[in-house]
Chains A and B, each alone.
Chain A
Amino acid sequence: MRLFQTEMIRFWSRRITWVTLAAAAIVMLLSVAYAFTKSSAEGPPADAVSFDAQCVDQMLGDYRNNEDVFFGPDGPEFENEADFVRFAQDEMCSNRWEDNDDRFHAVSLLGSETDDWSENRRPYGFNTTTTASDGTKVREANGPLEGLIPGIAIAFLIISVVLGSSFMGAEYKSGTVENLLLWEPRRIRVLLTKYAAGFVSSFLATVLAMGFLSGLLLLLATFRGTFEGVDGRFWIDLVSVIARAGLVGGAFFVLAMAIATISRNTTAAVGAILGWFVLTNVFIELFFKPVRQYELFINAVAFIGEAETPKIIKGGEAPNHFDIWAYSHSYLTAGLLVAIWAGVIASIALVLFSRRDLT
């Protein structure tokens, strides 16, 4: 416990921690200030028509003629015409943007603007079934929450990687890891404690930073926007996204620490992780699509955004195949896969750390 406290103190005493958090806070403040100048407290005119009636008529005509130009033959099915009309009014023929609604919508923290978050929290149209090239029916993967907060979480993952690499890399650079072993020679205990302190600290830092940004944006919505569509589910989703981002931030911090333990160098660790990111995104997409759904970063993003991780399978008949993003696993499984990735790398580092000579 004393070692854990020491590592926690070290994390929060490091200059790089505060410089990074301060820089992030400044960027957030500037961004929100800019958004403040570009937003308006006033909503659209009271007489504004929220949809284009001519467009709706056109869509309805197409629908009746079975010409679903937007979704193809496997697109979403509507129970009746009224359902389709509502959909056309709300989505395809909406005048929301044309009405110069410059208000900042609180719901945009998590997704598209809507007047009912619980109802419309998913981008419409992904949760459908489709036919693979072998004739089997497959369900398409549900997309992630697409708002500002899930998107910005990616930046915090990168920050976690840099801080985690530096947390361990700096120990090797200054030699303090050796000094520490003169006070606590049980190496496995030392590194596990560092992992634990790093995970908790990174979780807290990510949650604090994202909480700070959310607070700023909600203030913006209070003074220059609207809480239209916000309901209890929205708050649950917001807290969940931030918490999940914190967990992934912690996992990435541990992963980066582990790679820095293996490489004994901050730069090498950051380079290795960014290289990993680039390689997986290039090579897996090009050559190894069947394993794409197990990739670390894809699952990290899916877990934070509560998306179903997709696997890519072939649709359509030869030679006109096209990719279908079919359901592979849930966001909870995605989180588990992130934990497994971090755990495996951390274990390798643990074995090396416990056996390696410190010369």
Chain B
Amino acid sequence: MTGTAVMEVRGLRKEFRGRKGTEIVAVDNLDIAIPGGGVYGFLGPNGSGKTTTIRCLLGLIRPTSGSVKILGADTTTSLHQVIDRIGALVETPKFFPNFSGRKNLRMFARVAGVGKDAVDRSLETVGLADRGHDSFDSYSLGMKQRLAVAGTLLKDPELIILDEPANGLDPAGIVDIRRLIRSLGEQGKTIFVSSHQLAEVQQTCDDVMIISKGRLVRSGSVNDLVAVGSAAILVEIDNAAQAREILEAAGYVVQPGADDRSLSVETIPENAQHINHVLAYNNMFLSGLRHREASLESIFLELTGGEGEL
């Protein structure tokens, strides 16, 4: 970690008290360092501590221990010094239901001394310029989400923290948000985005951090993670059970396939020829052999043990 990191989390731990006084550890010794510029994905199953971490980052929750710095400021004591450089959306959009979308944004913009023009620009950016005068209550979930994203842009911030920004959006809306996030990243802003949409993260983010049970289990660039991920060779053969014994005897890690005529051999693509050779040597002949590429999703499931929903 460096002193110039846009976001620096060290040893973050957050405990909650359960109803019967039990201790619930939501985040456990979490370390995150984001140097700045680009789009960073923050992945984890439900209940893994993503939102708790984001709330700690934004001073909404006091960490039990550890330190959190954003743009060089300790968020427990001096977040106000940098808050004008941060835009954030935490979980669901939160606005005054009876006020119009525009009025809601103007209310918050006034707090930060941001002018009317920025409100209009933000609404335009998220495609809500025509519905700005409608009450927030009348918005669909997707429109509310867009308004919340517009809110994060008002201050023209250096760092944007988005917690599930694609929630409730239709496919076109998801594409729009993806483009927006990418374009903001290309402008040199730092975007920290938590999401359940793994395919979206794979297409949008430069780097990802995966947490499970409050702990960071993997971080790095999306390309590197996929490259070293759990690639496999899918084998189709009549007697899969016997083939499995032979391949395991040859030193491979073999998992049963989707049916009793297939196997998944966890190995690199270059071993396909050797697998074919081993089986043919034992008078077993393949009806199919193909390489299964690792995806962020498969890596995610592998790292998190498939816990929870995505």
Contact = CB atoms under 8 A, between A and B. Distances in A.
| Residue among B88, B96, B98 facing the most chain A CB atoms (10 A cut-off) | B96
Contact of B59 (A6, A176, A181): A181
B96 A186 contact: no
Interface residues of A, number: 26
Contacts of A175: 92, 94
B94 A3 contact: no
A42 interface: no
Interface string B76-100: 0001100100101010101111110
A15 interface: yes
B97 A181 contact: no
A359 B112 CA distance: 24
B83 A184 contact: yes
Interface string A1-33: 011011001100111000000000000000000
A5 to B, nearest CB: 6
A9 B52 CA distance: 32
Size class of B's contact patch?
20 to 34
Interface string A183-222: 1111000000000000000000000000000000000000
Contact of B113 (A2, A355, A358): A2
B258 interface: no
B274 interface: no
A236 interface: no
Interface in B60-119: 60-62, 75, 79-80, 83, 86, 88, 90, 92, 94-99, 103, 107-108, 110-113
B27 interface: no
Interface string A85-118: 0000000000000000000000000000000000
Given A6-B111, A174-B97, A357-B62, A183 B83 contact: yes
B261 interface: no
22 contacts: A2-B111, A3-B111, A5-B110, A6-B110, A9-B110, A15-B98, A174-B94, A174-B95, A174-B96, A176-B94, A178-B90, A179-B94, A179-B108, A182-B60, A182-B86, A184-B80, A184-B111, A185-B79, A357-B60, A358-B60, A359-B52, A359-B61
Interface of B: 16, 52, 55, 58-62, 75, 79-80, 83, 86, 88, 90, 92, 94-99, 103, 107-108, 110-113, 151
